[in-house]
Amino acid sequence: MIVKNAELETVCGITSKLPENGQIEVAFAGKSNVGKSSLINGLMNRKSLARTSSAPGKTQTINFYAVTGRRETKKEAQGMVSADEKVYLVDLPGYGYAKVSQNEKQKWGKMIEDYLHKSSQLKAVFLLIDIRHDPSANDKQMYDWVLHNGFSPIIIATKLDKIKRSQVQKQVKAIKQGLQVEKGTRVIPFSAETKQGREEIWSVIEGFLDAE
């Protein structure tokens, strides 16, 4: 995808209404600090449109980034113009952050749950796992929960730049085993530093746009 425009369009708190304009959504879930907002910036080619922080618990609302782009298609190579496409990249608050009060945790959990339940435009859920670590009990719970809601989670192994190349396959395997993923589940290693994996993630998103 060649991104032409990206903006933060809607911020949803606990009681807010979801956008209703028929535009498809793909959401990014994962533990606090795993790199959801950084990944969204990477996809949008923006440095800091989605706010990131080295301290976990940065994103506390559901943020809808409206992205308009155009694909690099054969048609274009032949001089034909392809139409603009629009998609929402949905940044979710992270889970598993110990410093948040029990009450806050419940509110956020309910907010994420409601969103995943209610959005009719949500086509895919990406679950982010730090490539350095085995999945936690919370990660496994999230994976199962997303699966039970009718989505096949696509796993993104984040912070790829933090490990040696020779360790990548071993870690990908550990993530698959830890989550006990369904057969055929994709695990895409990604680095917000080098942008490795960006094209592969966009091609998955484009697949959902095609299915519409």
Ligand X SMILES: Nc1nc2c(ncn2[C@@H]2O[C@H](COP(=O)(O)OP(=O)(O)OP(=O)(O)O)[C@@H](O)[C@H]2O)c(=O)[nH]1
Kindly list the residues in this chain that would bind ligand X in the complex (CB under 6 A). Answer: 30, 32-38, 52-54, 56-59, 93-94, 158-159, 161-162, 191-193
Q: Which is nearer to ligand X, 119 or 158 (CB)?
A: 158
Among candidates 54, 28, 32, which has minimal Cα distance to 40? 28
Question: 119 contacts which partner out of ligand X, Mg ion, none, CB within 5 to 8 A by kind?
Answer: none
> Contact with Mg ion (CB under 5 A): which of 26, 27, 35, 59?
59
**Cα 6 to chain center, whole Å?**
16
Q: Which amino acid is at 186?
A: R
Q: Which is nearer to Mg ion, 70 or 195 (CB)?
A: 195
Q: Which is nearer to ligand X, 93 or 153 (CB)?
A: 93
Q: Which is nearer to ligand X, 76 or 193 (CB)?
A: 193
Site size toward Mg ion, by CB under 5 A: 4
Report the alpha-carbon distance of residue 200 to residue 197 in Å, rounded.
5
Shortest CB 125 distance to ligand X, Å: 14
End-to-end CA distance of the chain: 17
Tell me the CA distances in angstroms from 130 to 3, 121, 122, 144, 159, one per residue in order: 26, 27, 24, 18, 6
